[in-house]
A and B are shown apart, each in its own frame.
Chain A
Amino acid sequence: MAVNVIKERWTSKVAEMKLGPNEIKIGGESTLPFLHFEGEMPHRPVTALEVIDMEPEDYPDMLKEPFASVLNDPVAWAKKVVEYGADMVALRLMSAHPDWKNASADEVAATARAVADAIDVPLIVIGCGVEEKDGEILPVVAEKLEGKKCLIGCVTQANYKSVTAAANGYGHCVIASTPLDINLCKQLNILINEMGLPLDRVAFDPLVGALGYGIEYAYSIMERARTGALTGDKTLATPVVCFVGQEAWKAKEAKDPDAAEWGPQGDRAILWETTTATTFAIAGGTIFIMRHPESIKRFNAFIDEAMKSNAY
């Protein structure tokens, strides 16, 4: 008996987002991840490496090594990221954190502009993670980065108004962040959209957990969101941002050089970060923000293979 290939009839697709001075496109999928036989993935998932605007204290040696001479110079660090082949640079404005340097909005905006001017690829700018402070600094950053078409995050239910208004006015996109709750995620996208920012300028961050540390929660949220996007749910049909590096390198399995029963750190750490990323890629992730250059290399090789045709 010949097999009648089962192809789902998807009725809608993920929005397509444009980022950066060269307007790189992401998203636009009209099928489940890598099921090319029943729809299109016009753009492959993209990678970014993190740049922090102050020397990180919690990077293990393995993570410092590829950026050895640039860890205290965000502009140089960003250029190194581009050299390593990342599709985008993700700049984290940690110096604004009240417990760290408590840098002012103007100071961090200036850093962001300097980095943006030094690179050709799209720039993702992340605040310090304290909602109130981010609500203050990100609008200033947005203004300073006018013309650069950046992706600015993360906005939450608490601070989305000021940041969205600025992002809208200065031509940027935003990352909407909600803690592992698909209903809140949908609602925040709607609130942002109601302020006048079109849905193709919003990406959502479900707050992914790393492999072994709750990866399955965001995995299922992303699978549900993608199915919704393909069956007419416009508010969840936005690209998804995965902060893989931040989470994976918290894990002992990645950062501990001495855990003998788990094998040597080299392959172990790279696999911890990359497996986290590839798992979210098969669930529907779009932008993968990682920390180690070897991880993005391995991830891209995986995506090269996954993007090959599997038509019947």
Chain B
Amino acid sequence: MGLTGLEIFKQLPKKNCKECGQPTCLAFAMQLAAGKASLDACPYVSDAAREALDSASAPPVALIKIGAGEKLLELGNETVLFRHDKRFEHPSGIAIQVNDNEDVKAKVEKINKLVFDRVGQTHEVNLVAVNNASGDAAKFAEAVKTAQENTQYPLLLIADAAAMEKGLEVAGANKPVVYAADANNYEAMVNLAKKYEAPLVVKGNDLNSLAELVEKVMALGYKNLILDSGSRELAKVIADQTQIRRQALKLFRPFGYPTIAFANNDDAIIESLNASTYVAKYAGIVVMNSAEAEHILPVITLRLNVYTDPQKPIAVESKIYELLNPGPDAPVLITTNFSLSYFCVAGDTEGARQPAYVIPVDTDGISVLTAWAAGKFTPETIADTVKNLGVMDKVNHKKIIIPGGVAVLSGKTAELTGLEVIVGPRESAGLPSFFKQRWNQ
């Protein structure tokens, strides 16, 4: 959306000189808002006003790219405060921190292992943050070199200007995140970031000082930015992240960039819980210390869940799923390939300790009742799937079980498949009882 008439009017000189061909500045503003005039027609508009009006067409949250190659990370282009209004666009990047005065290689190798398979997709962390804990520029450069040589992930460099210079000599070509420009060092940091075209974090002590500093950085001609509002306590981070997103969406330009949040905590459980919250609450990058699977997996899983497009739920592959080593007398359960449907059936079946085959019919990832209403979960599609997957070859019976909600399909499905079609419970939570009473008695 471009600027409104009132927003444009506020930038105009308000002389009503008529040199633009309109009777008043107000009328000119209306024409501009409607795209029917050009700002050039006004001889008296100031440079600042021109800048403000030009930036109106840029997206609310800038698109920032970190790193290069296969593991390049993109952040930004967000347009909403709530995922249900549309969706969140670029999942938060998770950065695991390694200090330059510890065993860098060992930790980096641990970080590389934080790769998990969920709902048939690969999910992993995104950045290695190298921190100049030693205060020594040479040591920092060495740590950066070790990190770079031992991981594919882009880097996030945490250092003062002198050490940063050394670090960037090593890693600059791969566009790492430069952390950070503050009120004291921003000119030097901007020069460094510009040289390597690397994304630069701008750090304030609070929202006001952050906005002020971003404007100074932008005035030096650099817009490849990430924002740190300076808060580190849970309630304040939640508030600041929310404010920055709200401001960005209202086109307050100093906040039109992705953010970074630090969850780092000596207590790994607190760190993991806070990191998950920051992922859900708008942070572009979330930094953590722990590289242990048990602390990282929940954060990665929540990120996957929150960033799922509400319009396009995740689907599982339509194939034979074997739960708990099913034998030839195991039941065959039919469901859809909506991942939630599959996981509910699988979860409740395993919860009942029942070995079984689960067959998700490809319904474009739609759930049972909706797919039935949409004509994608039908006797025909069920019969085709059962036949094509050949699941009945694995069992010594001729029975399949369909969800209770689509009981009406049982007759036709039996006809098409030549099998006995048993109507199961309406909710997967009824499966344990069902197995007890109807399958295993």
Within the complex, are A and B direct neighbours (CB within 8 Å)?
A: yes
Interface residues of A (CB under 8 A from B): 1-3, 5-6, 32, 34-37, 58, 97, 99, 129, 179, 209, 211-217, 219-220, 223-224, 227, 250-253, 261-268, 270-272, 274-275, 278-279, 282, 298, 301-302, 305-310, 312
Residue in A32, A213, A224, A282 whose CB lies within 8 Å of B280: A282
Q: Does B391 contact A (CB under 8 A)?
A: no
Task: Name the A residues within 8 Å of B234 (CB-CB).
Answer: 302, 305-306, 308
Residue in B239, B273, B293, B432 whose CB lies within 8 Å of A278: B273
Are A3 and B211 in contact (CB-based, < 8 A)?
yes
Q: Does B103 contact A (CB under 8 A)?
A: no
Q: Does B301 contact A (CB under 8 A)?
A: yes
Q: Does B14 contact A (CB under 8 A)?
A: no
The CA-CA distance from A265 to B297 in the complex, in Å, is: 12
Interface flags for B221-246 (1: CB within 8 Å of A; 0: not) read 00000000000011110111011001
Task: Name the B residues within 8 Å of A219 (CB-CB).
Answer: 83, 280, 305-306
Please judge, given known A-B contacts A1-B212, A1-B254, A213-B347, whether A275 and B294 are in contact too, CB under 8 Å: no
The CA-CA distance from A99 to B430 in the complex, in Å, is: 11
Residue in A99, A209, A252, A298 whose CB lies within 8 Å of B340: A209
Stretch at the interface among B35-43, B174-182, B264-272, B392-400: B264-272
Q: Can you sample 9 A-B contacts with CB below 8 Å?
A: A34-B238, A97-B433, A212-B305, A213-B343, A220-B82, A253-B297, A253-B301, A267-B269, A301-B270
Interface flags for B261-288 (1: CB within 8 Å of A; 0: not) read 0000000111011101100110000000
Please judge, given known A-B contacts A3-B252, A6-B243, A306-B238, whether A216 and B83 are in contact too, CB under 8 Å: yes
The chain B residue with its CB closest to the CB of A304 is B234
The CA-CA distance from A179 to B235 in the complex, in Å, is: 31
The chain A residue with its CB closest to the CB of B301 is A212
Task: Name the A residues within 8 Å of B252 (CB-CB).
Answer: 3
A67 CB to closest chain B CB (Å) equals: 20
The CA-CA distance from A217 to B338 in the complex, in Å, is: 13
Please judge, given known A-B contacts A251-B347, A282-B238, whether A271 and B281 are in contact too, CB under 8 Å: no
Are A268 and B294 in contact (CB-based, < 8 A)?
yes
Are B302 and A215 in contact (CB-based, < 8 A)?
yes
The chain B residue with its CB closest to the CB of A214 is B340
Are A271 and B308 in contact (CB-based, < 8 A)?
no
The CA-CA distance from A99 to B351 in the complex, in Å, is: 16
Residue in A211, A220, A270, A307 whose CB lies within 8 Å of B302: A211
Are B254 and A275 in contact (CB-based, < 8 A)?
no
Residue in B294, B340, B350 whose CB lies within 8 Å of A217: B340
The CA-CA distance from A58 to B236 in the complex, in Å, is: 40
Beyond the given A2-B211, A308-B236, could you list 17 further A-B residue pairs with CB under 8 A, ordered by the A residue number?
A: A1-B254, A3-B208, A3-B252, A34-B238, A35-B238, A58-B351, A213-B347, A219-B83, A219-B305, A220-B83, A223-B83, A253-B298, A263-B293, A275-B272, A282-B238, A302-B274, A306-B235
Are A275 and B83 in contact (CB-based, < 8 A)?
no
Please judge, given known A-B contacts A3-B211, A302-B273, whether A99 and B437 are in contact too, CB under 8 Å: yes
The CA-CA distance from A286 to B109 in the complex, in Å, is: 41
Q: Does B427 contact A (CB under 8 A)?
A: yes
Interface residues of B (CB under 8 A from A): 82-84, 116, 118, 207-208, 211-212, 215, 233-236, 238-240, 242-243, 246-247, 250, 252, 254-255, 268-270, 272-274, 276-277, 280-281, 292-295, 297-299, 301-302, 304-306, 308, 310, 340, 343-344, 347-348, 350-351, 427, 429, 432-433, 436-437
A308 CB to closest chain B CB (Å) equals: 4
The CA-CA distance from A270 to B268 in the complex, in Å, is: 12
A97 CB to closest chain B CB (Å) equals: 8
Task: Name the B residues within 8 Å of A37 (CB-CB).
Answer: 239
Instruction: Name which of A271, A272, A308, A309 has the most chain B CB atoms within 10 A of its CB.
Output: A271
Are B238 and A263 in contact (CB-based, < 8 A)?
no
Are A216 and B239 in contact (CB-based, < 8 A)?
no
Please judge, given known A-B contacts A211-B301, A212-B301, A267-B268, whether A282 and B277 are in contact too, CB under 8 Å: yes
The chain B residue with its CB closest to the CB of A34 is B238
The chain A residue with its CB closest to the CB of B293 is A263
Are B293 and A271 in contact (CB-based, < 8 A)?
no
B94 CB to closest chain A CB (Å) equals: 14
The CA-CA distance from A219 to B303 in the complex, in Å, is: 13
Please judge, given known A-B contacts A6-B243, A305-B234, whether A179 and B301 are in contact too, CB under 8 Å: no
The chain B residue with its CB closest to the CB of A310 is B239
A304 CB to closest chain B CB (Å) equals: 9
The CA-CA distance from A35 to B277 in the complex, in Å, is: 14
A168 CB to closest chain B CB (Å) equals: 28
Leading 3 A-B pairs by shortest Cβ distance: A263-B294, A310-B239, A263-B293
A270 CB to closest chain B CB (Å) equals: 7
The CA-CA distance from A252 to B323 in the complex, in Å, is: 13
